[in-house]
Structures are given as structure tokens and as C-alpha cells.
Amino acid sequence: MPSVGLGIAGLGTVAQGVLQIIGRNHRIILERTGIDLRVARVASRSAKPDVDLLGAQFGADLDMLYRDPAVDIVLELIGGEDTARDLIRSALMAGKPVVTANKAVIANSGNQLLGSNAEVPLRFEAAVAGAIPIVQAVQQGLVANQFEHIVGIINGTCNYILTAMAQQGTAFDDALRTAQELGYAEADPTFDVGGIDAAHKLTILLALAFDAQFNLPGVYVEGISHVTPADIRYAGELGYCIKHVGIARRSADGVEARVHPALLPAEQLLANVNDVANAVLVKADAAGHTLFSGPGAGGEATASAVLADVLAIAAGSGARQAQPRRALEYLPIEEIVTAYYLRIPTRDEPGVFARVANALSTHGISIEAAIQKEPRAQQDVVDIVILTGDSREREVDAALAEVRALPQVAGEIARIRVESLE
């Protein structure tokens, strides 16, 4: 039976998950695959005596992971970018296959890394959506298809916060604070709630599905901090849920690549993925719609994806991810066409709705649904909520500039895009 030596970089949550799974499921893996996984070496800045290294040698020198002849596959699980990228490149150049969970490195440097040594596998299933085998699905299970769109809830922190706001009516700041207390959000949550983490993952999915180069700067990115409980409540009245999504779509005008909050129809399965779960909806010409859902983070969940890549390489089916070929032109956000949710705070005066509707109509924007409630006692500002028909974003920008100039508008206008997922 083939024995495969692993060199693990890092001793964080995912690395510990790898060690735990191998220690617990070694026999199962051996019986199913005929592959004897052994951990030959672990490299980390600091030792963790309470972690079982399964007999591996320990040291701080990352270079030993690819120089040690006992190591057959290098697992880059240290996070960050510069050091991780250098380790991946050095290992590939030394002829050692690499498995990584590092989405930032792949999104930013994937083109260079994939071209550094085309004969040696580099795999990164764990970089996108944790335990969900979405990379394998795109590259193998659905490889005969042309992809039309990929829409994903691919950041568990954002999904948890929006779920808490919807189910408990809490404000964003309160939901974020709870997420931090539960360990779902970092002390500095900007990377997650600002949309950057999701943009990294979308960059990877888009490149693989559309046979393109990795192009993180081409992705439009928007976070969730401006979403309010009122927006979530009004969306529910209109039959929608608000989720933070990554969208890669072919359209008549070009390729869309965008990350932002969106109203999703409440009856859609994707709209009912809650808490820290991730989900990816893929539409392809032959397979139609397929939905992949599961834990998008966590030590053992992500480690499961890491080991899937390890075993694919060890079995000889781990051929390197296809070299990205095309440099796609992404559609500017101003040119996308979709429907919009608008919440416009206005003074309670006669004719204000007609003025707003006229401003929208001037720019060719139709109104599909609207909510205008009676003011409560001693309330002189009320929300006008409008769901538009499909409109080009630059026309919506122009219309909202005109609406903001109305003297009856009494605050900041909220705008959230609507996705039908058809």
C-alpha cells in the first residue's frame, strides 16, 4: 500500500483538524483508498504540546517541509500571504505537490503559482466554502457544462449576522458583537463584513468556471454594515430575504463579478441557508441548477476538504488545476441590469410619492411594488419602500441623485440589489 508523507505548515485550527481526522480516521481512509497517510513533519513558529503530532518531527523551519525527503505533499495552512505564497512557490519548484486552504494567496497570486511548475499539483478545495466540494464539482462533476452563473453565500460571518438581524430584530452592531463573542467574527471583522473574504472566494470560483485568469481587482465588493433591521423587515414584507452573496454571471453585455447584499426570493433554497452555513448555487447549460450547502469554516470541516485534495494527489487523480487561460473583461457595476430595493425616508407631505415616482420614471425605471405606511403619532418622517423593475445601475444612480435633491427627502436612501436566481 502506498505510504504518503505529509508536511504540515502551521498548527492553527485547520492544521489541528487535519491531525485529528488522520488520527481518528486513519483506518477508514486506508480501507477506502488504500493510501497510508502519515504526518512526517510539522513546522510552526511555536510548539503546542497539547496537540498530538502523530509522531511527526517538529520545527520552525518551513523550508524543511519541501527539503525533507520524507515529505511527499506539503500542506500550507499558516494563513497570511507573503510567507505562505513563498512556501507554496518554493515547494512547487522543488517538485513537491501542495495543498492549501489559503484563499487570499490563490485569489491574488494564483496565476503566477499555477504557472511556476506546471508538472506539480497545486490544489485548493479548502480555499472556498470549507467542507463543500465546490471546486471539485466545478472542475470535475460539472466539467462538461458551460456555466451560466454561480451565486454563493460564501462568508459565514456575514450570513450569521444577517440571520441574527432577521430572526431577532437586532441591529448590525449588536449582531456583530454577538458573532465576535461566539468566535464567528474576528476582533477586527473588516475582512469579513466588508466583503473581501467573499471576493477572494468568488475570484477563485469565477476563474475555474469561466476558464479565466484570477482577477481580484475586477470584482465589485460591498459589505453589509449599511443593512438595517428595517431593510430586512421590509424585504420580508415584499417576499424576500437579504443575504450577502458573491455573483459570477455571464450576461449579454459581459461577465459580472460582484459581491454585495442582495434580496433573494424567500422561497428559494439559497435564501433559507442561515447562521454560519455556506451555500453555492450553480446554473449550467446541461445540469441546470445545482445547490451545494454545508459548513463554510471550522477546523475539521476545512480539514476535510484539505484531506480530499491530499488523497486525490496521492491516488494519482490530483492533476494540477487547469492553467487559467483568458483575461476576461468584467462588466463595470454601473452597467449591470437588475431590480432594486429602495428605502427612501421622506417627510410626511402630500404628493411626495408621486414626486419620487416621477423622478424614477424620468430615467426609465418602473415600480413593481411599493410600501408606504401611515406615520405614527408624532412621527414626521416615514419610509417609502420601492421595488423596481430591472434597470441599469447607472440609470438608478442618476434617478437617485434626482430623488435626493427633493426637499421632502429626509435622510440617506438605502439601495440593495435584487437577484431572482432564474
Whole-number pLDDT of residue 183: 86
Q: Percent of the chain having pLDDT more than 70?
A: 98
Whole-number pLDDT of residue 239: 96
Q: How far apart are CA 236 and CA 37, in angstroms?
A: 50
For residue range 251-263, what is the model confidence (pLDDT) as tens digits?
Answer: 888 899 999 999 9
- Is pLDDT of 309 > 60? yes
For residue range 162-182, what is the model confidence (pLDDT) as tens digits?
Answer: 999 999 999 999 999 999 998
- What residues act catalytically? 201
- Report strand pairing: 381-388 vs 391-392: unpaired
Q: How far apart are CA 402 and CA 233, in angstroms?
A: 26
For residue range 341-384, what is the model confidence (pLDDT) as tens digits?
Answer: 999 999 988 899 999 999 999 999 999 999 988 877 777 899 99
The last residue of a domain, from among 101, 127, 153: 127
Q: How far apart are CA 364 and CA 357, in angstroms?
A: 11
> 191 and 109, same structural domain?
no
Is 383 within the bounds of a domain? yes
> 108 and 239, same structural domain?
no
> 70 and 18, same structural domain?
yes
Is 330 within the bounds of a domain? no
Q: How far apart are CA 296 and CA 277, in angstroms?
A: 6
Beta-carbon neighbour count of residue 374 at 10 Å? 7
> 169 and 153, same structural domain?
yes
Q: Cell 466583503: give the residue.
A: 195
Sheet holding 73-76, edge to edge: 57-59, 36-43, 3-9, 73-76, 98-100, 122-123
Whole-number pLDDT of residue 324: 57
The last residue of a domain, from among 105, 127, 149: 127
Is 314 within the bounds of a domain? no
> 230 and 171, same structural domain?
yes
Residue 98 buriedness (CB in 10 A; 0-12 / 13-18 / 19+): buried
> 183 and 121, same structural domain?
no
Is 278 within the bounds of a domain? yes
For residue range 26-72, what is the model confidence (pLDDT) as tens digits?
Answer: 999 999 999 999 999 999 999 999 999 999 999 999 999 999 999 99
Residue 298 confidence class, pLDDT cut points 50, 70, 90 = confident
The last residue of a domain, from among 295, 328, 358: 295
Report, as an integer, the average pLDDT of 137-141.
92
Report, as an integer, the average pLDDT of 122-148.
93
Are 44 and 79 in contact, with CB atoms under 8 Å apart?
no
CATH number of the domain at 240, please: 3.30.360.10
* HSE (side-chain half, CA atoms, 13 Å) at 191: 12
Phi, psi torsion values for 278, nearest 5 degrees: -110, 160
Is 313 within the bounds of a domain? no
> 139 and 75, same structural domain?
no
Residue 385 confidence class, pLDDT cut points 50, 70, 90 = very high
- Is pLDDT of 322 > 80? no
Are 319 and 121 in contact, with CB atoms under 8 Å apart?
yes
> 65 and 197, same structural domain?
no
Report, as an integer, the average pLDDT of 227-238.
96
Q: Cell 424620468: give the residue.
A: 362
For residue range 200-226, what is the model confidence (pLDDT) as tens digits?
Answer: 999 999 999 999 999 999 999 999 999
> 195 and 87, same structural domain?
no
The pTM is what? 0.94
Whole-number pLDDT of residue 321: 55
Is 317 within the bounds of a domain? no
Is 320 within the bounds of a domain? no
> 366 and 282, same structural domain?
no
Residue 194 or 183, more confident: 194
Residue 250 or 221, more confident: 221
For residue range 62-72, what is the model confidence (pLDDT) as tens digits?
Answer: 999 999 999 99
Whole-number pLDDT of residue 251: 84
Are 15 and 23 in contact, with CB atoms under 8 Å apart?
no
Q: How far apart are CA 123 and CA 206, in angstroms?
A: 16
What distance lies between CA 306 and its chain's CA centroid? 17
CATH number of the domain at 57, please: 3.40.50.720
User: What total of structural domains would you count in the chain?
Assistant: 3
> 273 and 143, same structural domain?
yes
Q: What is the DSSP letter of 273?
A: -
Are 133 and 292 in contact, with CB atoms under 8 Å apart?
yes
For residue range 404-421, what is the model confidence (pLDDT) as tens digits?
Answer: 999 999 999 999 999 988
- The whole domain housing 23 covers 3-127
Residue by residue, DSSP assigns 72-111 as SEEEE---SSHHHHHHHHHHHHTT--EEE--HHHHHHHHH
The radius of gyration computed from the CA coordinates of the chain, to the nearest angstrom, equals 24
Is 315 within the bounds of a domain? no
> 413 and 352, same structural domain?
yes
CATH number of the domain at 390, please: 3.30.70.260
